[in-house]
Structure 1
Amino acid sequence: MIVDTHLHVIDQSVLAYPWLSGTPALNRNFSYETYAREAKRVGIEATLHMEVDVAASDMEAETENVARLVDQPGSLIVGAIAACRPEDETFPAYLERHRDNPLIRGFRRVLHVMPDDLSERPLFRENIRRLSGTGLTFDLCVLPRQLPQTIALVDLAPDVQFILDHCGVPDIKSEEMHPWRELMSEIARRPNVAGKISGVIAYADPETWTVETLRPWVEHTIEVFDWDRVVWGSDWPVCTQGGSLSTWVAATHALIAGASEEERRKLLSQNARRIWRL
């Protein structure tokens, strides 16, 4: 069975998503019910909702919306990675309001669409260090070129558990293996970072990719982080730009077919349960 650490629910009837206007393929509603129907068929037994970069004014409303989904009978959602703005002076108060909320298991600030120096700003770094001792994780969604800044951020908060999303967002379609490969090896040397094998089919050519297209990127991520520091995520519905949820699950099983049962269990569920205390 699988723990999905990266589900997005998009509901434009209650929340604003400014970035969707530039992404036509995703600019519509993607409901929890649609996801859950397919997820249950492919062996997903629990999921974490990942913030969807809503408008800053809607961040807390998004968490409230996820709480309503959790309350549905038989809900697969067992926690949420909430949005945050560490670059803002309001972050300490925001953290205090939410650190004891049992629904929230961590935070994320999308960085791959932001200026590269955002994570280098003193206030951003100071606020990330505030996560020390809280047990809350911080997801890193960055481009390969931003990995040097990301490594510096991680080093400043050694007591914070970081999760590197989407195998470091490689450009699989263009086969740009370098310097992604070397930088992934470097960030993986930090014991407080875990690698997330999530939705990489969205970064490959949607018409031509195969399991072998994905293999070098996924296998390198697992190799450098080892089986004890990798988790799995669907990145639904973003993954639908490269195929369905079922397609990504099937590709994952093919990619790890040669692993031991214990190794597969660590990637697909065990590590996530330990990191987020599920």
Structure 2
Amino acid sequence: MIVDAHHHLWRTGQGYTWLDAPELAPIRRSFTPADLQTVLTESGVERTVLVEGGRCDTAEAGLLLAYAKETPQIAGVVAWVDPTDPALADTLAGYRALPGGDLLVGVRPQIQGEADPDYLDRPDVRRGLHTIAGTGLAFDLVIRDDQLPAAARAARDVPELRFVLDHLAKPRIRAGEHAAWAGALAELATAPNATAKLSGLVTEADWRQWTVADLRPYVATAVELFGPQRLMYGSDWPVCLLAASYARVKNALVEALPALSPREQMAVFGGTATRTYRLP
């Protein structure tokens, strides 16, 4: 069973103001569960994890959980949360009480939007991470490469929390930068409670001219550091449409991966996501 561990859904007019940036015009439209089902069928993907889409408000959780409740392919939802929320435990309990709340498998804030590279070291953030750990939910890290050191410290200091690194911390593929990113990624990979998504890479490369060869060094480093049992495939659809179709993203990862055994391939394309997010 193939699991896409990272995609989004949104409708225009529902508060996704980040899509107003001029360069995002190609994806400035609604993407619905029906649209998702079409691309999944075409690519042979059976299950998915739906991730918050940058609205950064608690009301979005109800929309995403409702999508999941109505869409058999969506096996879990990662909702937005503010880890510094004084009422965080109540917020998470409220999510679970919503229709489809049993499909909540993780949460994430938009850490990449925080100017401070050490945001995850803040005491109020750390308190929130412990609260999240107590709920059994996973914690997605959508971060920049300069925020990797703080993520590594957080993963070591909150060992009971399952950390999931989104988009390999957005390496600067377009600029060809690799060494500094790889060194920082290695620190996070030493934490056994950290996994990572092979997702979002095509939009870190040149949108018009990227090739599989551009992605291969970053994928190879992730495999070397985390191993297939701690890596998972994610399309980042529909954001990926800025640079490639759903099918091309999936096929590019197949080509970019080093030689893996059938069992290791199963881990990357479903097993790791199922285990990490505790999907049914």
TM-score by length of 1: 0.92
1:99/1:113 CA distance change after superposition, 3 Å: same
Match of 1:82 among 79, 83, 94: 79
Query: Are the counterparts in 1 of residues 47 and 73 from structure 2 also a CA contact under 8 Å?
Result: yes
What is the letter of the counterpart of residue 61 of structure 2?
T
How do 1:168-179 residues align onto structure 2 when only pairs under 5 Å count? 168-179=169-180
Distance 1:121 1:169 in 2: 22
Contact 1:199–1:248 (8 Å) recurs in 2 = no
Are 1:204 and 2:200 matched, yes or no? Answer: no
User: Do residues 64 (structure 1) and 65 (structure 2) align?
Assistant: no
d(CA) in 2 for partners of 1:140 and 1:126? 16
SS in 2 for 1:33: helix
- Alpha-carbon distance between aligned partners in 2 of 1:113 and 1:67, rounded to the nearest angstrom: 24
Residues 58-137 of structure 1: matches in 2 within 5 Å?
Answer: 59-60=58-59, 62-72=60-70, 75-98=72-95, 101-116=101-116, 117-137=118-138
Report the 3-state secondary structure (helix = DSSP H, G, I; strand = E; otherwise coil) of the residue aligned with 1:119.
Answer: helix
Which residue identity lines up with residue 79 of structure 2 in the other structure? A
For the residues of structure 2 that align with 1:37 and 1:240, how far apart are their CA atoms? Answer: 15
State the 1:189 CA deviation: 0.3
Separation in structure 1 between the aligned mates of residue 96 and residue 192 of structure 2, nearest angstrom: 23
Structure 1 gap ranges (5+): none
Amino acid at match of 1:91: L
Distance 2:198 2:181 in 1: 15
Deviations 1:220-245 (A, max 9, x none): 11110011111111111111121111
Contact 1:172–1:203, Cα closer than 8 Å, also in 2 = yes
TM superposition shift of 1:55: 4.0
For the 8 Å contact 2:219–2:257, the answer to whether it is kept is no
More deviation, 233-242/97-106: 97-106
Per the TM alignment, residue 121 of structure 1 is displaced from its structure 2 partner at its CA by: 2.1
Q: What is the CA–CA distance in structure 1 between the aligned matches of 2:56 and 2:142, rounded to whole Å?
A: 17
CA contact (8 A) 2:65 2:104 kept: no
Distance 1:120 1:133 in 2: 19
Paired residue type of 1:65: L
Equivalent position of 1:141 in the other structure: 142
Counterpart code for 1:81? V
Given that residues 9 and 32 in structure 1 are in contact (C-alpha distance below 8 angstroms), is that contact kept between their aligned partners in structure 2? yes
Q: Which residue of 2 aligns with 1:24?
A: 24
CA offsets, 1:67-125, max 9 Å, x none? 332343x6311110010011232323212323573110010111112222432221111
Residue 20 of structure 1 deviates from its aligned partner by: 2.0
Q: Which residue of 2 aligns with 1:219?
A: 220
Identify if the C-alpha distance between structure 1 residues 35 and 257 changes in structure 2 by more than 3 Å, giving closer, same or farther: farther
- 1:19 deviation in Å? 1.9
Aligned equivalents of 2:89 and 2:136: distance in 1? 16
C-alpha deviation, 1:136, in angstroms: 0.5
Opposite residue 18 of structure 2, the aligned amino acid is W
Alignment partner of 2:203: what SS? helix
1: CA distance, partners of 2:106 / 2:65: 15
CA 1:32–1:133 in 2, change beyond 3 Å: closer, same or farther? same
SS of 1:231's equivalent in the other structure is: strand
Q: Offset at 1:161?
A: 0.2
3-state SS, counterpart of residue 107 of structure 1: strand
Letter in 1 for 2:252: A
Counterpart amino acid of 2:274? Answer: R
Residue of structure 1 equivalent to 2:7: 7
Between the aligned residues of both structures, percent identity stands at: 31
Tell me which amino acid in the other structure corresponds to 1:4: D
Q: Secondary structure of the equivalent of 2:135?
A: coil
Contact 1:87–1:121 (CA<8 Å) still a contact in 2? no
**In angstroms, what is the RMSD of aligned CA positions?**
1.7
